[in-house]
């Protein structure tokens, strides 16, 4: 394999939602701890998250939503972060990831991104004319030694991984809640299939583990087979 082994790891509701609503003010990390019947088992997701790959992929939009543009600089961790971003991270957001990451790789199609004005020994920028996650993943492995990667991005970017056949494993923690709302982000969003000729874009899965957790949570692990 010329790219990293790639795992989609997410927390979602029973109806597949990865946010509590359709605005950036609503977020599972902020809102689930407030909900009776949901907060009690939430710690299990974060405990499992601590066991995922030491290379983590996310997006600037998701991270901006979580407040990295305004947070003080954190302590260094052993995790290397890969972030796709064109316009959501500020200079402080970039410095946040430089401080937190073992290696920080920014993927962007914006030559005017604030990251270009920052010098950091552990920051690397993959500038593309047009986004190609496949090419970016190949570069991650070849240039930076990334052998395995956990993806925790939003539904739109998750759909790009799906359509480009870049997922190898899917690891989902299901919270005991129904959220609803057609405009609320789901595990996979993006452009819908429009004809049977596009069915090759589906992700066919083989269940490799189903683990009931405490407080009505479930962990589902799949291998992507098609």
pLDDT digits (tens, 9 = 90+) for 144-156: 999 999 999 999 9
Q: Is the pTM of this model over 0.85?
A: yes
What's the pLDDT at 226?
A: 87
CATH number for position 154: 3.40.430.10
Which residues make beta-bridge pairs with 126?
Answer: 107
pLDDT digits (tens, 9 = 90+) for 47-87: 999 999 999 999 999 999 999 999 999 999 999 999 999 99
- Show the tokens assigned to 175: 């919270």
pLDDT class of 99 with cuts at 50, 70, 90: very high
Q: Average pLDDT, stretch 195-212?
A: 95
Does the structure show a pLDDT above 80 at 20? yes
Spatial contact of 90 and 67, defined as CB atoms under 8 Å apart: no
Spatial distance between the Cα atoms of 140 and 5, rounded to a whole number of angstroms: 11
Structural domain including 45 reads: 5-224
Domain count for the chain, please give it.
1
């Amino acid at each position: 394999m010329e790219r990293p082994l790639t795992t989609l790891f997410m927390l979602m509701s029973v109806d597949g939602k990865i946010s509590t609503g359709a605005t950036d003010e609503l977020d599972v990390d902020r809102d689930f701890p407030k909900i009776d019947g949901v907060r009690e088992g939430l710690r299990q997701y974060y405990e499992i998250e601590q066991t995922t790959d030491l290379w983590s992929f996310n997006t600037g939009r998701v991270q901006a939503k979580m407040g990295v543009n305004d947070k003080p600089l954190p302590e260094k961790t052993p995790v290397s972060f890969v972030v796709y971003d064109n316009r959501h991270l500020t200079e402080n957001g970039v410095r946040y990831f430089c401080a937190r990451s073992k290696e920080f790789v920014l993927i962007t199609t914006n030559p005017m991104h604030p990251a270009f004005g920052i010098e950091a020994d552990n920051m690397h920028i993959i500038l593309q004319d047009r986004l190609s996650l496949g090419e970016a993943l190949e570069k991650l492995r070849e240039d930076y030694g990334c052998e395995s990667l956990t993806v925790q991005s939003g539904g739109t970017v998750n759909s790009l991984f799906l359509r480009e056949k870049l997922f190898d494993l899917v690891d989902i923690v299901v919270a005991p809640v129904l959220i609803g709302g057609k405009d609320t982000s789901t595990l996979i969003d993006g452009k819908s299939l429009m004809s049977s000729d596009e069915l090759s874009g589906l992700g066919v899965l083989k269940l490799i583990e189903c683990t009931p957790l405490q407080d009505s949570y479930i962990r589902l692990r799949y291998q992507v087979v098609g």
